[in-house]
């Protein structure tokens, strides 16, 4: 059987499907196209007042693509994971091709949170995130959403909707609506690293929607 490549994954994302494995040591990959799809509307990311205060603090740093392998490993470091060795290798290959990206949150020189995903056209497909400190993954997501908006993205796909994502403004849409939004997003181009992008912390903490 022919080995899966990064180009195969990009084709799959463009077709609206994504890979998962049953467990860390699984040798098979399943392709998923959920009946209900999770997304975060880029104009409706919710930040609580407590998270806004956390985002303004100077005791952490955020980077783009500084430690993709570290974020990937952090996301896979849980008892039950869909990130098998084969899937991890494919995302590392995608990263080397410039199609997969990570946001890293560090504190005192240590990786304490992050999120990674795949960019294609004006769509970003969030794959996984992890937190090694309080609000570590929320901080990463807030910075990612701000960067996606600045770079001209139109769709932030989270695959499934969890309570955690719902608290941040995520919602579910029907498969047909998702494919319509995806088709529109694939028609244009966006940049994960827009020229001159250097926001102040207070701008990250002031999204379009704020809750108590």
CB atoms within 10 A of CB 185: 19
pLDDT at 48 over 50: yes
pLDDT computed for residue 14 by the predictor: 97
End-to-end CA distance of the chain: 53
The H or E element spanning position 110 is: strand 110-120
Burial of 43 (0-12, 13-18, 19+ CB in 10 A): exposed
pLDDT computed for residue 184 by the predictor: 98
With H, G, I as helix, E, B as strand and everything else as coil, classify residue 211: strand
pTM over 0.95: no
Banded model confidence at residue 102, pLDDT cuts 50, 70, 90? very high
- Domain range summary for the chain, segments of one domain joined by +: 34-80+99-211
Per-residue pLDDT tens over the stretch 135-172: 999 999 999 999 999 999 999 999 999 999 999 999 99
Cα dihedral angle (148, 4, 177, 146), rounded to 10 degrees?
-10
Residue 106 corresponds to which tokens in the numbers above? 């560090």
Give me the CATH topology for the region 34-80+99-211.
Answer: Aminopeptidase (3.40.630)
């Amino acid at each position: 059987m022919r080995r899966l490549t990064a180009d195969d994954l990009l084709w799959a994302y463009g077709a609206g499907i994504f890979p998962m494995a049953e467990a860390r040591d699984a040798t098979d990959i399943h392709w998923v196209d959920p009946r209900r799809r999770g997304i975060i509307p880029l104009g409706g990311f919710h930040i609580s007042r407590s998270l806004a205060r956390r985002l303004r603090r100077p005791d952490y740093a955020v980077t783009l693509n500084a430690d993709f392998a570290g974020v990937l490993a952090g996301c896979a470091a849980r008892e039950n994971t869909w990130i098998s060795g084969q899937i991890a290798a494919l995302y590392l290959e995608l990263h080397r091709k410039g199609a997969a990206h990570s946001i890293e949150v560090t504190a005192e020189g240590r990786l304490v949170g992050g999120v990674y995903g795949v960019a294609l056209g004006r769509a970003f497909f969030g794959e996984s995130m992890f937190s090694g400190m309080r609000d570590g993954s929320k901080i990463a997501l807030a910075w990612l959403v701000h960067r996606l908006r600045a770079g001209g993205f139109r769709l932030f796909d989270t695959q499934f909707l969890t309570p955690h994502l719902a608290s941040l403004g995520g919602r579910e849409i029907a498969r047909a609506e998702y494919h319509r939004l995806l088709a529109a997003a694939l028609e244009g181009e966006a940049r994960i690293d827009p020229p001159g992008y250097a926001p102040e912390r207070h701008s990250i903490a002031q999204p379009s929607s704020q809750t108590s």
